[in-house]
């Protein structure tokens, strides 16, 4: 009976189409995708296993729960910046000023809140608004003057850095009070165990509930779906992985709230990119801007929204890093922040060439980047070596992206 | 749900009226003083040599380019088509020669691009069902609507582009070389489709270099030459007359080639 209904399905009428069903079909589809260059999460998983093995063998402290908790604290700030980078990369654009923007935001919080006594929420709002404005300017430069984002954000990198130094003044560094909620949020506050376990189970449950609803509506519309088995298998694997991770981290201090906020932002961004008209337009503009324009999409507005989101999230990342370090300094946002954020997005699977990627790549990529950075710190390597190694990792990530892109082209995938 | 649901204009009523349309690209005058009328339930073929300005005219009507001068009347009202969105909204749908599809998106996403159902919570199931309905009406040979466009052949892409133009139930459909990449069966399907559109009261503008296709479906044949109107014909006119108008002279490379061929065959015993 299932056989009959399957072949009657609207989307299964063509005899040339192979029907991947059940768990075996899922595995076969997965192998096919990898072969054709659609790597998905694979580089991240391989990378994380490799990194964990190497660093643990060099220094066993790496896998101690509390070190991983620290790693998550650190990951949240640059992760936010990386989430913004995903937006501009999806359009095939770039923002090189994210580091400076985060530095400026952190300086603004220090100056407005500590030096001038403006309430903290207002200071943070001002920093975020500045981020939105800077993104607006980049978007207008691109839309009005056709100024490549590479150039406009490169000049922004210098200008924002200058502004950061200017408002910090000659002292150059402002300490944020340790007892303040901001610093506690960035350094101490972790979820209670029960909350972290609940949050670990929620994704699996939501996955199953939404998945079953999709199966039902698709069946009602005479369309095929992957089947309940695959759904339960995926949800089970996801829940198990999350529970193990949470249980392990709870042996240390627990899951930082700051990391939780970052993950929540990723989830919201993922919904916006995959399930809304705005997200669809983002992918369309990244894939073929002229086609998007002719389909009636307001390309200029989409570009503006991407640059504004990117700079705003960079500003938020700056606030997070100020909270993490309990200071606003001239060093904030300089050094490797820029490249780490971009590298994280690319390693996570967002293409530099536009039109491909996902919000998850910010989360997955930042875990890889932060693990490397954390491991190298544990080895007491100087920053000279750390820069060189991080640079090499970025180069490898881009090479993998380019090769995968070529392979996708020859296998007829976008 | 039919792709060709409503014929909304009364047959014979003018839908589109162009007067004195000109377009300059710098020093080049791509179009000069073009007049064109399209009525409901009518197929107008636009023919001309390469560089005659056919595609430029289509792009002006699609809102991609703006005319340097001249007026466009749509359903009796003078309109300005300053964006593609405006043209689509009025009911002018276009199948571009370069198709204008996003290769990284799947067939469903391309069909509904810019007109997704429920913008804040995309209704993928409804869109997929509608996509299959549209494609089946065009007898499209597309195995899966969840494939990215990059994996489709030229003819399949063409069908997707045509299907997309019908999505919003337009008043006028413009097809720029719709059969150039198609096989025999698909070409026949597209010609059938054009006739179906006409019978439903849509206006159709067809650009084609294939005189056989043009004569098969067109009610009027408008010839452009070097950016100007160069005569209007019906399928009753002979091929020679039309080709003379396209090339600008009765003595042209096509006629020379024909006479040479006929001399050669005439010489043979």
Domain assignment present for B144: no
Domain assignment present for B18: yes
Residue B69: the pLDDT is 92
> Which residues of chain A are within 8 Å of residue B141 when distances are taken between CB atoms?
14
Q: Which of A286, A287, A296 sits opposite B84 (nearest CB)?
A: A296
Domain assignment present for B42: yes
Strands B14-25 and B69-74: antiparallel
Domain assignment present for B130: no
Interface membership of B154 toward A (CB under 8 Å): no
CB contact under 8 A, B104 and A356: yes
- Helix-then-strand count for chain A, H and E: 17, 2
Over residues B240-249, the pLDDT tens digits come to: 888 888 888 7
The chain A residue lying nearest B167, using CA atoms, is: A295
Q: Rounded distance, CA B91 to CA B94, Å?
A: 10
Residue A5: the pLDDT is 40
In degrees to the nearest 10, what's the CA dihedral of A175, A176, A178, A181?
-170
Q: How far is A357 from chain B (nearest CA, A)?
A: 11
Q: What is the CATH number of the domain that holds B191?
A: 3.40.50.300
Over residues A308-340, the pLDDT tens digits come to: 999 999 999 999 999 999 999 988 888 789 889
CB contact under 8 A, B114 and A214: no
Over residues A167-214, the pLDDT tens digits come to: 998 888 899 999 999 999 999 999 999 999 999 999 999 999 999 999
Task: Give the global pTM.
Answer: 0.88
Domain assignment present for B156: no
Over residues B45-102, the pLDDT tens digits come to: 999 888 888 889 999 999 989 999 999 999 989 999 998 889 989 999 999 888 889 9
Q: Which of A217, A283, A298 sits opposite B125 (nearest CB)?
A: A217
Over residues B185-200, the pLDDT tens digits come to: 778 878 888 888 888 8
Interface membership of B84 toward A (CB under 8 Å): yes
CB contact under 8 A, A296 and B83: yes
Residue with tokens 């030459």: B225
| β-bridge mates for residue B148, sequence order | B106
Interface membership of B95 toward A (CB under 8 Å): no
The answer to whether the beta carbons of residues A252 and A66 sit under 8 Å apart is: yes
The chain B residue lying nearest A216, using CA atoms, is: B125
Report whether pLDDT(A37) > 80.
no
Domain assignment present for B93: yes
CB contact under 8 A, A10 and B132: yes
CA–chain centroid gap for B126, Å, is: 28
Q: Which of A375, A365, A376, A373 has the alpha carbon at shortest distance from A401?
A: A365
Over residues A368-386, the pLDDT tens digits come to: 999 998 999 899 888 888 8
Which regions of B191-234 does DSSP assign to beta strands (E)? 203-207, 220-225, 228-233
DSSP symbols for A61-127: GGGSHHHHHHHHHHHHHHHHHHHHHHHHHHTT---TTHHHHHHHHHHHHIIIIIIT---HHHHHHHH
Length of chain A: 414
Domain assignment present for B215: yes
Q: Which residues of A touch B (CB under 8 A)?
A: 10-11, 14, 16-17, 214, 217-218, 221-223, 275-278, 280-281, 283-284, 286-288, 290-298, 355-356, 408-409, 411-414
Structure tokens at B36: 């064109």
Domain assignment present for B267: no
Over residues A284-308, the pLDDT tens digits come to: 999 999 999 989 899 999 999 999 9
> Which residues of chain B are within 8 Å of residue A278 when distances are taken between CB atoms?
119
Burial of A209 (0-12, 13-18, 19+ CB in 10 A): exposed
Distances A360 to A33, A199, A244, A349, A363 between C-alpha atoms, Å: 18, 17, 20, 9, 5
Domain that holds residue B215: 14-105+167-237
CB contact under 8 A, B109 and A283: yes
Structure tokens at B248: 């600008």
Over residues A123-161, the pLDDT tens digits come to: 999 999 999 999 999 999 999 999 999 999 999 999 999
The chain A residue lying nearest B112, using CA atoms, is: A295
Interface membership of B13 toward A (CB under 8 Å): no
The chain A residue lying nearest B64, using CA atoms, is: A294
How many structural domains is chain B composed of?
Answer: 1
CB contact under 8 A, A414 and B83: no
């Amino acid at each position: 009976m299932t056989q009959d209904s399957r072949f009657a399905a609207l989307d299964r009428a063509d005899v040339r189409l192979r029907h991947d069903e059940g768990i075996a079909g899922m595995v076969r589809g997965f192998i096919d995708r990898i072969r054709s260059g659609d790597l998905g999460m694979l580089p991240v998983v391989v990378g994380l296993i490799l990194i964990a093995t190497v660093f643990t063998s060099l220094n066993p402290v790496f896998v101690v729960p509390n070190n991983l908790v620290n790693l998550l604290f650190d990951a949240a700030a640059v992760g936010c910046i990386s989430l913004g980078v995903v937006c501009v990369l999806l359009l095939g654009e770039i923002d090189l000023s994210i580091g400076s923007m985060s530095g400026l935001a952190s300086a603004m919080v220090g100056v407005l809140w500590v030096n001038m006594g403006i309430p903290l929420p207002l200071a943070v709002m001002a920093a975020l608004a500045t981020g939105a404005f800077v993104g607006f300017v980049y978007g207008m430069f691109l839309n009005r003057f056709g100024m490549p984002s590479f150039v406009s954000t490169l000049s922004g990198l210098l200008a924002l850095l200058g502004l950061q130094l200017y408002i910090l003044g000659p002292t150059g560094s402002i300490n944020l009070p340790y007892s303040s909620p901001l610093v506690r949020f960035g350094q101490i506050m972790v979820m209670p165990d029960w909350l972290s376990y609940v949050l670990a189970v929620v994704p699996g449950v939501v996955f199953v509930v939404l998945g079953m609803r999709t199966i039902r509506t698709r069946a009602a519309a005479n369309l095929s779906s992957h089947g309940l088995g695959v759904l339960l298998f995926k949800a089970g694997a996801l829940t198990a992985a999350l529970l193990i991770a949470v249980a392990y981290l709870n042996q240390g201090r627990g899951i930082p709230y700051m990391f939780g906020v970052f993950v929540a932002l990723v989830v919201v961004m993922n919904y916006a990119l995959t399930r809304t008209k705005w997200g669809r337009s983002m992918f369309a503009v990244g894939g073929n801007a002229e086609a998007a324009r002719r389909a009636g999409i307001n390309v200029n507005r989409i570009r503006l929204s991407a640059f504004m989101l990117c700079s705003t999230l960079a500003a938020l990342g700056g606030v997070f890093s100020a909270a993490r370090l309990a200071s606003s300094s001239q060093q904030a946002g300089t050094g490797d922040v820029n490249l780490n954020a971009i590298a994280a997005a690319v390693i996570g699977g967002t293409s530099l060439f536009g039109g491909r990627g996902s919000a998850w790549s910010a989360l997955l990529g930042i875990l890889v980047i932060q693990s490397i950075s954390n491991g190298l710190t544990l080895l007491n390597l100087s920053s000279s070596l750390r820069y060189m190694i991080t640079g090499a990792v970025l180069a490898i990530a881009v090479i993998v992206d380019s090769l995968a892109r070529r392979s996708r082209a020859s296998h007829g995938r976008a | 749900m039919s792709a060709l649901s409503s014929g909304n204009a009364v047959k014979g009523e003018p839908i589109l009226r162009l007067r004195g349309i000109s377009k300059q690209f710098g020093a080049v005058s791509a179009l000069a003083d073009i007049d064109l009328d399209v009525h409901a339930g009518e197929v107008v073929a636009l023919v001309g040599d390469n560089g005659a300005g056919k595609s430029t005219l289509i792009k002006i009507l699609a809102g991609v380019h703006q005319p340097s001068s001249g007026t466009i009347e749509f359903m009796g009202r003078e309109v300005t088509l300053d964006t593609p969105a405006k043209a689509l909204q009025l009911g002018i749908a276009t199948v571009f020669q370069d198709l204008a599809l996003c290769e990284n998106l799947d067939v469903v996403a391309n069909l509904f691009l810019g007109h997704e159902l429920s913008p804040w919570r995309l209704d993928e199931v409804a869109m997929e069902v509608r996509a299959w309905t549209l494609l089946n009406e065009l007898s499209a040979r597309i195995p899966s609507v969840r494939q990215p466009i990059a994996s489709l052949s030229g003819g399949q892409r063409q069908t997707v582009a045509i299907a997309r133009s019908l999505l919003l139930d337009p008043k006028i459909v413009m097809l720029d070389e719709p059969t150039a990449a198609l096989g025999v069966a698909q070409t026949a399907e597209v010609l059938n489709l054009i006739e179906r559109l006409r019978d439903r009261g849509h206006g159709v503008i067809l650009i084609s270099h294939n005189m056989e296709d043009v004569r098969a479906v067109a009610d009027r044949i408008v010839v452009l030459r070097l950016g100007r109107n160069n005569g209007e014909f019906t399928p009753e006119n002979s091929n020679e007359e039309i080709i003379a108008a396209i090339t600008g002279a009765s003595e042209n490379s096509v006629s020379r080639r024909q006479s040479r061929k006929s001399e050669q065959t005439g010489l043979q015993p």
